Every structure is written in C-alpha cells, then in structure tokens.
Amino acid sequence: MVNNFPKLHNAAWPGLVGKGAPDSEPPIELDTMLDLTAAAEVNGVRFDGIDLFLCDPHVSIDSSAEDVKRLAEKVQKKNLAIGSVVAPVWPPTGGGSAMGSADERKQFVTQVRKACDIAKQLRELGIRPHGVVRVDSAASPEEWAADPEANTRTIAETFREACDVAAGYGERLAAEGEICWGGMHSWHEMVKLLELVDRPAIVGFQADMAHTLLYTLGYNAPEAALLPPDYDWSDVSLLDDALKTMTAALRPWTIDFHVAQNDATVKGSGSHDRTGRHCLPTDPNGKLDIPRHAGFWLRDEDGNLTKAFRHICWDGCMFPNETMMQPKTWTDVLSVMIAVRDAHGWYED
C-alpha cells in the first residue's frame, strides 16, 4: 500500500516571516498561501494540510470564537486540515522574552495561553486532528550569553509555566531550535534546556532540517560544533556522523518536524534575525539529501520508524515573494515531501 502517514503539510508563515518591514517585501496574505497550497499536485497527491502563524495579518492571536470558526471553514473549503500553530511570543508581536523581566515573562505565557485556546478550538471544530503549539525563548544568543546559567534557568521556569497552561488546554508545546534563539542556539544547549524544564509529556523539540544542519556547524556556538571549520562537503560520511550524534540527542524529544533544505549559510530578512537559510528543495547548493537525512529524525538508531508525529511540514522562510508565487515552487516542495513519506512513512486504513 502507498504510505498515507505522516500527513503532508505546508507552512503559512513563510508569507509573513522576514516580511512587512520597511526594508523587506510585503506579507503574502493567508488566502494566497492557502490557494498556493491547495493547488499543488503531484501525480494525484496533494498537501493534506497547513500549519499556521497566529499573528496578524494572517490569524489574530486575539481572534474571537466566530473568527476561529470562520478560519476553520475557510481552510476546510480548500480540503486542507490545520496542524501545528505558532504562538507569537516575541516582543514585537505582543509577547516577551522568556528570560526577561516578570512582566516580559508574563506576556510570553499570555501569548502561549491565547495560542493554546485557539488551537483547542480548532481541534474541537474537527479541522485540527493533530499538531503542537510552537514556541522559542524570544531572546537572542547575545542576551543569553550575558549569564548563560541563570538565563537558561529562567527560560526553563517560563517554559514550565507555559507547560502548565498548555496542559490545561490539552496541548503540547514544541520548542524550535534555531541559532537565533538564546538558550536554544545549539543542540547541546537545546537538550540542556529541555532536560531542565523536565516536562516531556508537554514540551518537546521541533526539528527543522535547515536549522539543525547549522547546529552541526556550531554557528553561534563553536564549542558545540560537530563538523570542522574547514569541512569538505564532499565527505558525506562525516556529515552523516555529525547528524547521527545530534539526532540521537534530540530525537527522543522531537514531537514536530519540518522538512527543509539549507546551503550551510545563514540569512536574515526584515526584522528576523540571521538563522538557517532555507533553500528550495532543488537548489544545487543544498547540502542535505532531504529524503535520506529526514530518516535520521524519523527513524531510530536501529532503523525503526518512530511515528512520533502524525504530520510533517515544509518550512521555507524568507524566500522572495516572486519565488513563492510560482506554482512550480510548490510542486517541487510537494514532490520532496512525498519522497520523504515514501521512504519513512506508513499506511493506515
């Protein structure tokens, strides 16, 4: 039988991330992202769903029950489900640093509460069969480095408060490791933080292939590098060894997964700090064999499927709007998503 799990989702937030600032391109409307997602098709296979950013101008974090119902109806009309949602925990979006002042941390938890409320409503409306609420520390590595031990402890305390909130809504939180988030900017610090939070039933890791590739290179954390500074990318075995070390540490925590490509450089756009550069799946400079390396996350050390999540999502932040408006972009993305599922998925009646 052809694999039908994990379900294949696109992400709506590339229409917002790194856009909207005076020095960047305008946002792409949610309706447009839904249309592009729903229209993509490869040999009769389409995207099953979409993951959302709960932030204006896509979805207001202060949406009313009627707003949420209209959102569900809109997505359903496109024959799509909703999966994971991003809580807008950053100061510019109404949140605050997870290692900041009492007021900032309160704002962080408030945004998580609002996101969990919307996520629960979508689940109860039947449009969201699976998924998590995504968070990060909303602080920079530079700020964190002023007092690493104390700041990690504070982030952990804030995350525990957020876990209490999420549990009340029947939701789970996924912390996305990126080199731009303090206390989460290396694979080593990410594991340390998750262990310190110590709420594995509620909080886990969201692995993005583009971001975690930079973990192996030690961007913003040279002490945690798993590849040498002069690494020769033709030596695939060394990359595989580095990925195996990292995934062995983070896979047990991983509850959400982003398929992505990276050319081993960093990029920032608009207000978004420099982080893992997402590339198109067909980019000749991409350093990952996407279907094969996805298996490092989707299978354990013995090659068994983990089935740790019911859907996987494509993430391609900070692509030019012109690229995102081309239908071929999304058929190419869908093709590699299908290849990942063919290699590491399963079938259910």
Calpha distance 182→349 (Å, rounded): 43
Task: Grade residue 267 by pLDDT with cuts at 50, 70 and 90.
Answer: low
In the chain, where are the structural domains located? 7-344
Q: Which amino acid is at 54?
A: L
Task: Grade residue 1 by pLDDT with cuts at 50, 70 and 90.
Answer: confident
Average pLDDT, the chain: 95
Calpha distance 303→154 (Å, rounded): 37
Q: Where are the alpha helices (DSSP H) in 24-101?
A: 30-39, 65-77
Q: Are 293 and 209 in contact (CB under 8 A)?
A: yes
What's the pLDDT score for residue 299?
A: 98
Examine the pLDDT at 266 and tell me if it is beyond 80.
Answer: no
Calpha distance 262→290 (Å, rounded): 10
Q: Six-digit token pair at 248? A: 């062995």
Examine the pLDDT at 22 and tell me if it is beyond 80.
Answer: yes
Calpha distance 260→48 (Å, rounded): 17
Examine the pLDDT at 276 and tell me if it is beyond 70.
Answer: no
Number of H helices, E strands in the chain: 11, 12
What's the pLDDT score for residue 241?
A: 98
Calpha distance 162→202 (Å, rounded): 9
The secondary element (H helix, E strand) that includes residue 146 is none
Examine the pLDDT at 125 and tell me if it is beyond 70.
Answer: yes
CA atoms within 13 A on the CB side of 161: 17
Q: Are 132 and 255 in contact (CB under 8 A)?
A: yes
pLDDT in tens, 182-206: 999 999 999 999 999 999 999 999 9
Examine the pLDDT at 175 and tell me if it is beyond 70.
Answer: yes
How much is the average pLDDT of 70-76? 98
pLDDT in tens, 205-261: 999 999 999 999 998 899 999 999 999 999 999 999 999 999 999 999 999 999 999
pLDDT in tens, 284-311: 999 999 999 999 999 999 999 999 999 9
Q: Are 204 and 132 in contact (CB under 8 A)?
A: yes
SS3 263: strand
User: Of the candidates 205, 173, 166, which has an alpha carbon nearest to the alpha carbon of residue 306?
Assistant: 205
CB atoms within 10 A of CB 14: 22
Task: Give domain 7-344's CATH number out of 3.20.20.150, 3.40.640.10, 3.30.420.40, 3.30.1540.20.
Answer: 3.20.20.150
